[in-house]
Chains A and B, each alone.
Chain A
């Protein structure tokens, strides 16, 4: 079955979406990621969407669901690399991705994920 690979790096999971996802593939990614967060006790999830040419309401919902599920499992999600045209379209569509942290690129995204370790109790910094 077609799947999007999930890489583990230290305490974090990395996903780079390189294909135009059909809905079932997006759902599979959501389920796989949630399972991997629990399995690996990951503290951070970084999703690179720089190859995505569009984010419609379905993919937007998937990103929101992943962030929400990760939060419940005590992991922080950062979505990185959104193309400017995608961001403009997303806002006009009416989606502002509430609850999803974003960063311009992988480097800044890793900084965001890493910064939570600097919190006073070392736990999730909202």
Chain B
């Protein structure tokens, strides 16, 4: 599998969340995603970008266009150096929230993509990697 193109973006405030949504949309179109697939990865990106801003105190996202033989995909790597998530299993459960939201962000984002990996430790921050294939 090859990364054919990549780009990093900063996530500081909720306006950056909108910018990331737009960037992910452009990349998803360039990857040849269907409208529904575009919408799914943009929505997942919106949830994870907001998490990084609200819970992680800001962070970054790296967009990667992938080529795996005939398959094309889009991988997004969200990283923050925030307080981390003490119990990831609990955080992935629907309805679990610390931020006053609906508690659908992490679990919902996971359902919208093909691959979802999360690495979080208290005190060191959180890294979420999602991939959607065409």
Which B37-89 residues have C-beta < 8 A from chain A? 38-40, 42-43, 46-47, 50
Also in contact, A93 and B112, with CB within 8 A (given A23-B17, A24-B14): yes
Cβ of B112: which chain A residues have Cβ within 8 Å of it?
Answer: 89, 92-93
How distant is the Cα of A84 from the Cα of B35 in the complex, in angstroms?
A: 10
Bitwise, B6-24 to A at CB < 8 A (1) or not (0) is 0000000011011001100
Cβ of B43: which chain A residues have Cβ within 8 Å of it?
Answer: 54-56, 89, 93
Does B102 touch A at the CB level, under 8 Å? Answer: yes
Complex contact B21–A20 (CB within 8 A): yes
> Chain A interface residue count: which class?
20 to 34
Bitwise, A50-88 to B at CB < 8 A (1) or not (0) is 000111111011000000000000000000000111101
Also in contact, A95 and B104, with CB within 8 A (given A54-B46, A86-B39, A89-B40): yes
Does A120 touch B at the CB level, under 8 Å? Answer: no
Complex contact B102–A57 (CB within 8 A): yes
Does B125 touch A at the CB level, under 8 Å? Answer: no
B66 to chain A, nearest CB (A): 21
Considering only CB atoms, which chain A residue lies closest to B39 in the complex?
A: A85
Grouping DSSP codes into helix (H, G, I), strand (E, B) and loop, the B interface class, with mixed when no group exceeds half, is helix
A58 contact from B38, B39, B40, B101, Cβ within 8 A: B101
How distant is the Cα of A89 from the Cα of B113 in the complex, in angstroms?
A: 11
Considering only CB atoms, which chain A residue lies closest to B13 in the complex?
A: A22
A94 contact from B15, B22, B38, B111, Cβ within 8 A: B111
Also in contact, A94 and B107, with CB within 8 A (given A23-B50, A61-B102): yes
Complex contact A53–B17 (CB within 8 A): no
13 chain-A/chain-B pairs, Cβ below 8 angstroms = A23-B14, A53-B25, A57-B101, A58-B50, A61-B101, A85-B38, A86-B39, A88-B36, A89-B39, A92-B111, A93-B43, A94-B107, A95-B102
B residues engaging A (CB < 8 A)?
14-15, 17-18, 21-22, 25, 35-36, 38-40, 42-43, 46-47, 50, 94, 101-102, 104-105, 107-109, 111-112
